[in-house]
Structure 1
Amino acid sequence: MKNIFNTGVFTLFILMTMASCKKEEKLNANLNIIDKNIIDKTDVDIWLDNNYLKPYNIETKFRFDRFELDNGKNITPPNELQVIPMMETVRDVWIKPFEKIGGADFIKRISPKQFVLAGSAAYNQDGSITLGTAEGGRKIVLYVVNTFDKTNLASVKQAIQVIQHEYTHILNQTVDYQTDFQSISKGGYMGNWLLGTLAEARALGFITQYARAAPEEDYAEMSSNMLMMGRVAYNAAVSTAPADAQVKLKKKEQYVVDYFKSSFNIDFYALQTEVQNALYKISAPVLAKLIGPGVGYTTMYSNPAKDVNQSAEFSGLWNAASANMVAAGFNLQDITLTFKAAGAMTLNYSFTRGNTVFFADADYTIKIDAAGVATLALVATQPTTTTYGNMAFVNPQMVGVNNYFKNNKFKLDWINTIIPGNIGGLGSLGAFYKSTDTKSYFYGTMGQ
């Protein structure tokens, strides 16, 4: 016992001596750089600071951090060269429209405080892929950054729709959406939404397959799709659904519109227009590709006497026809082109005698080629109902206008270079330009 004790005392003495020696030595190491993960800021960091961190207090993490992502999935790090193009697009297509309609401070007040970027998608066991997630209203993870192309409309829409969807969840966490929304499609929700097709979803009153996953996903899909599709494309999609499904989709649309107004004082349709205007800077809508039911516009309306920017040739023909109608005891009012089916168009005039309104119809075929040039041909056998009989009656007075449509080919395009205004929306102005003389045209308001 005595030896053991002495050994312990000796050991204690050595340790104390060593400790006292270490205190006297100068440590040749810089502890400030150990385990602090300090990285010199690059041009990308500075750009993100100036465009996100400083104005909105939003951090963007693009350096790969496994703790920010699903550990159970193989995810590719983002290419640093893709970061600014991606986040420029997020700023221009998501943030700026909300600022314009919701106010300069809207995103500053309600926004995720962090974006995390991943190079690839996250692949799920059920065969689906994750393109974005939101966590607790604080963080949005954006995937597939490495294949993002800011000049490609489909690529931009895919990325921004993810944000619009996740941001709707954040808004719903700030102010809950209407509780009775979920009753509109009660019984239509399903856990494995991949088992259903888009056609089945639309037939049940869901805008997408994923909308069937849960009521909150249905709400976010409605909001994001309405914003990214735009009003014309959304209405066209709804019009292809069965009647009862159309009622459900329109009811859901109204819920979303009312929610944005009552909760945040945002005019949803104005926001929708601003988002579309931002998308049009990437790729402008082509009028010729938006003609027909289930596609886009179904009507084009004009009152040429009031639409003073009609071309000189068309105005001259219309004024002559109007004078002829007056001589026949009628007052010519307006003209409507109705695109009622693929390749089919009805030309309609309205005219009056006293308080009585009359209509005259004629059916045409319309063929639009890849260059957007339309060829009209009067259908040989017309229906025999009253309005078609009226066209036969007024044809001598309207012959100049009728021949204008029958005897020319037309380039379909917007008229915003002549009459400034938005393109691609309800109420936008479209025109039929003579293919042989673009100074000769007929224009009207595009509708559905």
Structure 2
Amino acid sequence: MQHKTYCWLLAILLLAACSKKDDLSGIEDISGLGGDTWTQTQLDTWLYDTLVVPYNIEVRYKWDQFEFELDKTLVPPDESMVIPSMEAVKKVWIDTYVAEAGSTFFIRYSPKFIILCGSASWNTESGTVTLGTAEGGRKIVLYNINNFRTKESDGYQPSDSENVKQIFHVIEHEFGHILHQNILYPATWKDISTGHYTSNWNNVSDADANREGFISAYAMSGYDDDFVETISLMLVNGKAGFDNLVNSIPEGTTTSGMTQAQAQAALRAKETAVVNYFKSAWNMDFYSLQTRTRTAVEQLLY
């Protein structure tokens, strides 16, 4: 009997929760729950004409928290930074690949969505920072857009160039993942630095990573990231930049037993592997692509 009484009481409460007579007209609209509309601006038109029409790439800059990790404190992109950053990405990444491999190749393998975030994403537990991610070869997320500057920007200083190059570093890195996920690099890649990868890469400086035969500390995190970091930094820093990195490795032996000659040999072996991969897998001249990319970077920053 008590159970029957409880069920009747629950039914009454549910029916009373929202009566047809309730006046809901004063409730404020909550945007972001789906179905939102807005008037297209010149920015939307520029993105459509510049990226959607020729390359089928949609840039999403209007804030959607569900595109990011929900436990992070992030800042939306400043709309004034969208065109400068995307114009630079087009010059450094899109135009160079299209010139080298053709628009058919680029449209086929490029991600279809670029999501923009104004701030970097800090990982408090590891002390690292996420500047970009890729998902399934279809979406790339670019962080820290609000700090993007080129030599044409107000307040730009030459010292800003390393920070600005991060966006190119990130997108070349993520596109490298897309390429090797479609055609895997040769198995011999894993033989070059076997035994020197580490999950504690975030505690290693780039200089120390170079002494171990890696192009960056992050490259020490695993085979795949070693491969795409090598691609990315070789493109962004150019042939002269890579040669300078290899030649500047100091003499001596590291705690792991790596000598200067061994570290330099490992980096040169990786350079050769990347060049051969681009030729055999994609019929591309990597050095030509590298020259185009570095020229575009220098025109924007120096």
Name the TM tier (shorter chain): 0.7 to 0.9
Structure 2 residue aligned with 1:122 = 121
Contact persistence 1:89–1:156 (CA under 8 A): no
CA RMSD of aligned residues (A): 1.5
Letter of the 2:266 counterpart:
K
Aligned residue runs from structure 1 range 38-49, under 5 A: 38-49=37-48
Instruction: State the partner residue of 1:134.
Output: 134
- Mapped to 2, the partners of 1:197 and 1:144 lie a distance apart of 22
SS in 1 for 2:134: strand
Q: In structure 1, how many angstroms separate the alpha carbons of the residues matched to 2:163 and 2:243?
A: 22
Instruction: Confirm or deny that 1:111 pairs with 2:119.
Output: no
Distance in 2 (alpha carbons) for counterparts of 1:159 and 1:204: 26
Q: Does 1:144 align with 2:144?
A: yes
Is the partner of 1:194 in helix, strand or coil?
helix
Q: TM-score, normalised by structure 1?
A: 0.55
Structure with the larger strand share: 1
| Percentage identity across paired residues of the two chains | 42
SS in 1 for 2:103: coil
1:267 aligns with 2:285: yes
2:75 and 2:118 in contact (8 A); partners too: yes
Kept in 1: contact 2:275–2:285 (CA 8 A):
yes
Deviation track 1:247-293 (CA, whole Å, cap 9, x = no partner) reads 10000111110111111111000000001111221244xxxxxxxxx
| Aligned counterparts of 1:116 and 1:212: Cα–Cα separation in 2 | 27
**Alpha-carbon deviations, 1:188-225, whole Å to 9, x = none?**
11112112222321111011100000110000110001
Whether the aligned pair in 2 keeps the contact of 1:168 and 1:223 (CA below 8 Å) is: yes
Change (3 A) 1:51 1:273: same
Rounded to whole Å, the distance in 2 between the matches of 1:52 and 1:180 is 37
Counterparts of 1:268 and 1:85 in 2: how far apart (Å)? Answer: 27
Structure 1, residues 402-448: CA drift from partner, whole Å, max 9, x if none? xxxxxxxxxxxxxxxxxxxxxxxxxxxxxxxxxxxxxxxxxxxxxxx
1 CA distance for matches of 2:299 and 2:281? 30
2:243 corresponds, among 220, 235, 253, to: 235
CA separation of 1:283 and 1:35: change in aligned 2, threshold 3 A: closer
In the TM superposition, residue 92 of structure 1 has moved relative to its aligned partner by: 0.6
Match of 2:234 among 187, 212, 226: 226
| Structure 2 equivalent of residue 65 of structure 1 | 64
1:156 CA drift (Å): 3.3
AA partner of residue 164 (structure 1): E
CA 1:185–1:49: 2 relative to 1, 3 Å: same
Q: 1:169 maps to which residue?
A: 177
Deviations 1:154-211 (A, max 9, x none): 3431111100000000111111111221111011111121122223211110111000
Query: Secondary structure, in 3 states, of the residue corresponding to 1:177?
Result: coil
Question: Please, which moves more after superposition, 105-114 or 82-91?
Answer: 105-114
Paired residue type of 1:184: I
Q: 1:36 to 1:234 in 2, by over 3 A?
A: same
Taking the aligned partners of 1:175 and 1:198, their CA distance within structure 2 comes to 28
Give the structure 2 partner of residue 54 of structure 1.
53
Q: Which residue of 1 aligns with 2:276?
A: 258
SS at match of 1:186: coil
- Could you list the runs of 5+ residues in structure 1 that have no partner in the other structure? 1-32, 285-448
For the residues of structure 2 that align with 1:196 and 1:90, how far apart are their CA atoms? 29
Alignment length (residue pairs):
252
* Counterpart pick for 1:198 among 202, 206, 218: 206
Letter in 1 for 2:135: E
List structure 1 segments (4+ residues) > 6 angstroms apart after TM superposition. none
- For residues 239 and 119 of structure 2, what CA distance do their matches in structure 1 show? 31
Show the 5 A alignment for 1:198-217: 198-217=206-225
CA displacement at 1:239 relative to structure 2: 1.0
Task: Give deviations 1:61-120, integer Å, cap 9, x for gaps.
Answer: 001101100111111011111101110001011100111111132211110110000000
SS of structure 2 residue aligned to 1:134 = strand
* Residue in 1 that maps onto 2:14: none
**Map of 1:154 onto structure 2:** 162
CA distance in structure 2 between the aligned counterparts of 1:160 and 1:212, rounded to whole angstroms: 20
Structure 2 residues without counterparts, runs of 5 or longer: 1-30, 152-159, 250-259
Classify 1:35/1:123 alpha carbon distance in 2 versus 1 (closer, same or farther; 3 Å).
closer
Q: CA deviation at 1:35?
A: 4.7
Amino acid in structure 2 at the alignment position of 1:62: Y
Q: Which residue is equivalent to 2:23?
A: none
- In structure 2, do the counterparts of structure 1 residues 209 and 35 end up closer, same or farther at CA, with 3 Å as the change threshold? closer
**Amino acid aligned to 2:167:** A
2:199–2:221 Cα contact (<8 Å) kept: yes
Structure with the bigger percentage of helix: 2
Native 8 Å contact 1:153 1:282 kept in 2: no
Question: TM-score, normalising length from structure 2?
Answer: 0.81
CA distance, structure 1, for counterparts of residue 35 and residue 275 of structure 2: 48
Cα distance in structure 1, aligned partners of 2:73 and 2:137: 25
Partner amino acid, structure 1, of 2:85: M
- Residue-by-residue CA offset, 1:304-335 (whole Å, 9 max, x unaligned): xxxxxxxxxxxxxxxxxxxxxxxxxxxxxxxx
Q: Counterparts of 1:180 and 1:55 in 2: how far apart (Å)?
A: 37
Q: What amino acid maps onto 1:128 in structure 2?
A: T
Instruction: Tell me the distance in 1 between the aligned counterparts of 2:217 and 2:301.
Output: 26
